[in-house]
Amino acid sequence: MAEIVRVRYAPSPTGHLHVGGVRTLLFNSLFAKKHGGKLILRIENTDQQRSTPEHEQTLLQDVISLGITPDEGPDQGGAFAPYRQSDRMKIYADHVQMLLDQNLAYPCFCSAETISAKREAALKLSRTPLYDGTCAKLSKEESSNRIKSGERAGIRFRAPNIDFVLKDEVRGSVEFKAGSVGDFLITRSPQSSEEEVALGIGMPTYNFACVVDDHLMGMTHIIRGEDHLSNTARQLMIYDAFHWDLPKFAHTAMVLGSDRQKLSKRNGDAGAHDYLAQGYLKEALLNFLAFLGWHPGSTLTPRSGHPEILTPEELAAAFDLDGLQKAPAVFDLEKLRWMNAQYMRLLPAERVAEAARSFFENSEIESVRLGMKLITSEWFVRMVDLLRMDHTLLSELPLASRILFEDSPALDEASKQALLGPESKAVLIALEAAIDAVPELTSEVFLGIQKQVGVSAQVKGKQLFMPIRIATTGASHGPEVKNIVPLLGKSRVLKRIRHTREQFQS
């Protein structure tokens, strides 16, 4: 029976989820979906200085807002719970003990200051700063006496002095030469928390906890950023020490900013929530990120007609590790904007409206905020459906909606000018009369009326269309008038025309 794919996204909760993290989460999620496997979310919070419960909440919220739901995780639970590393101390303590028992690890009493001073000294001599082995030679008895007398020790893993080769799904064979990694800490020295004192170990380090969990949680594939490649040397040593089978590793190329420098806030590395708050749709953001460092192996024919605009299902079907690229990917904000504009048109109007709602409800424009309280959801969807065609971001829609919410807006000078003169007057008089005479103002009815008004007032082209547009919408540009008037309805349109005539044509 084929093995069931299990992959994980294992963030350290140090703040908001940034685009690089979203991409890793997405690749794992697509891979799980493609193979009918499971996506596990694991919180790696063993660095308690940087990882806080508040940050964890922020991060979980960000994952939810992207619409990606793990199969197992701190909120979902699962057969391999707990999924938060700080809740797994007993498991780590047991595994540390196994290594201590086999003399594959030893207590280390060197203080952080000593280690850091030796490190500095090695760097000054242009040497790789490896642990110098001070505590490696202590006898078990000596170490245990020092611990009994109250000294605190971290646990250090004896790094074997042999070559390791990683067969990476993206990078091919990666060699880690013997001697490039010194003995490394797998747990920090215990702090005063009750649990740490009782278990006799401090918080595990990332490399140790990660391997223990990846093994116990049955991970089949580790898909993560290339920045973890150098950690993998230490991780391979731990797999080896426990005689555990290796999962498959795929280290994805880094994402560079548009200036080809390391991704930072300045060149695109905002949090996912920043992009959503700016008015990007999660669907567009995810589709965009999927193509950042990945390309489908064969030419696709997606429903959208565009080779890079794929539904989540199409993406999952197309995704494979072969398509992950070695070269760094460049974050192109213009492309993301383009992608968003496509999604504004492509998604069902209901979905765009749902995503747009908060921008309207929290708009700085008072008429929009107040208007939102008076309309039905159905009307709101129709309005968004009308406005979305001409815009790139959801956040642009409230301003564009003023033409629908404000019945007597202030006109600009050019619009006022366009209403002057006998032709404009004749157009609006005829328009008002014709609209008054119909029971309902549909697009077709309106087009008929417009034609009829042109004939009766003997004007055409701009001279006909401009006064009509300005009188009905209050602006000289915007979506097609024939689509706006049915949304306003007959009586509001009449009110607007009358108001315009009284104000500017009497």
Stretch that binds ligand GLU, among 4-12, 288-296, 357-365, 429-437 (CB under 6 A): 4-12
Closer Cβ to ligand GLU, 176 or 446, answer by number: 176
Contact 381, 350 (CB under 8 A): yes
**Phi, psi (rounded to 5 degrees) for 401:** -80, -5
Among 156, 224, 402, 469, the residue binding ligand GLU under the rule CB under 6 A is: 224
Closer Cβ to ligand GLU, 221 or 224, answer by number: 224
Our finding on whether 62 is near ligand GLU (CB under 6 A) is no
CA distances from 267 to 26, 259, 337, 340, 448 (A): 21, 7, 14, 18, 52
Minimum distance between the CB of residue 224 and ligand GLU, rounded to whole angstroms?
A: 4
Our finding on whether 478 is near ligand GLU (CB under 6 A) is no
Contact 67, 176 (CB under 8 A): no
Our finding on whether 11 is near ligand GLU (CB under 6 A) is yes
Closer Cβ to ligand GLU, 61 or 278, answer by number: 61
Closer Cβ to ligand GLU, 13 or 371, answer by number: 13
Residue 374 identity (one-letter amino acid): L
- Cα 359–Cα 361–Cα 367 angle in degrees, nearest 5: 105
Minimum distance between the CB of residue 353 and ligand GLU, rounded to whole angstroms?
A: 35
Tokens of 258: 């548009």
Minimum distance between the CB of residue 288 and ligand GLU, rounded to whole angstroms?
A: 22
Closer Cβ to ligand GLU, 6 or 228, answer by number: 228
Minimum distance between the CB of residue 141 and ligand GLU, rounded to whole angstroms?
A: 37
Q: Where in 277-336 is the site for ligand GLU (CB under 6 A)? A: none
Among 17, 44, 89, 263, the residue binding ligand GLU under the rule CB under 6 A is: 44
The C-alpha atoms of residue 177 and residue 324 are separated, in whole angstroms, by 26
Closer Cβ to ligand GLU, 12 or 205, answer by number: 12
Minimum distance between the CB of residue 365 and ligand GLU, rounded to whole angstroms?
A: 40
CB atoms within 10 A of CB 429: 16
Closer Cβ to ligand GLU, 100 or 254, answer by number: 254
Burial of 113 (0-12, 13-18, 19+ CB in 10 A): exposed
Minimum distance between the CB of residue 228 and ligand GLU, rounded to whole angstroms?
A: 5
Helix H or strand E segment including 71 = none
Task: Give the active site residue among 177, 262, 265, 460.
Answer: 265
* Contact map string, positions 359 to 378, toward ligand GLU, x by CB under 6 A: --------------------
Minimum distance between the CB of residue 400 and ligand GLU, rounded to whole angstroms?
A: 40
Among 6, 12, 107, 190, the residue binding ligand GLU under the rule CB under 6 A is: 12
Stretch that binds ligand GLU, among 10-18, 139-147, 162-170, 190-198 (CB under 6 A): 10-18
Q: How far from chain centre, in Å, is Cα 503?
A: 50
Q: Count interface residues toward ligand GLU (CB under 6 A).
A: 7
Q: What is the 3-state secondary structure (H, E, C) of 457-505?
A: HCCCCHHHHHHHHHHHHCCCCCCCHHHHHHHHCHHHHHHHHHHHHHHHC
Minimum distance between the CB of residue 252 and ligand GLU, rounded to whole angstroms?
A: 11
The C-alpha atoms of residue 58 and residue 207 are separated, in whole angstroms, by 24
Minimum distance between the CB of residue 297 and ligand GLU, rounded to whole angstroms?
A: 25
Stretch that binds ligand GLU, among 8-16, 196-204, 282-290, 380-388 (CB under 6 A): 8-16
Stretch that binds ligand GLU, among 5-13, 303-311, 441-449, 483-491 (CB under 6 A): 5-13
Closer Cβ to ligand GLU, 44 or 56, answer by number: 44
Orientation angle between helical segments 349-361 and 366-374, nearest 10 degrees: 120
Closer Cβ to ligand GLU, 11 or 73, answer by number: 11
The C-alpha atoms of residue 168 and residue 173 are separated, in whole angstroms, by 6
Closer Cβ to ligand GLU, 228 or 490, answer by number: 228
* 211 DSSP assignment: H
The C-alpha atoms of residue 76 and residue 69 are separated, in whole angstroms, by 9
Strand partners, 154: 108
Q: What is the 3-state secondary structure (H, E, C) of 339-407?
A: HHHHHHHHCCHHHHHHHHHHHHHCCCCHHHHHHHHHCCHHHHHHHHHHHHHHCCCHHHHHHHCHHHHCC
Q: Where in 82-111 is the site for ligand GLU (CB under 6 A)? A: none
Q: Where in 171-210 is the site for ligand GLU (CB under 6 A)? A: 210
The C-alpha atoms of residue 466 and residue 214 are separated, in whole angstroms, by 67
38 counts as catalytic = no
Q: Where in 204-223 is the site for ligand GLU (CB under 6 A)? A: 210
Stretch that binds ligand GLU, among 6-14, 299-307, 440-448, 449-457 (CB under 6 A): 6-14
CA distances from 399 to 57, 387, 395, 406 (A): 33, 10, 8, 11
Among 10, 63, 281, 481, the residue binding ligand GLU under the rule CB under 6 A is: 10
Q: If we measure between CA atoms, which residue out of 403, 415, 501 comes closest to residue 465? A: 415
Q: Which residues are catalytic?
A: 265
User: Residues interacting with ligand GLU, by CB under 6 A?
Assistant: 10-12, 44, 210, 224, 228
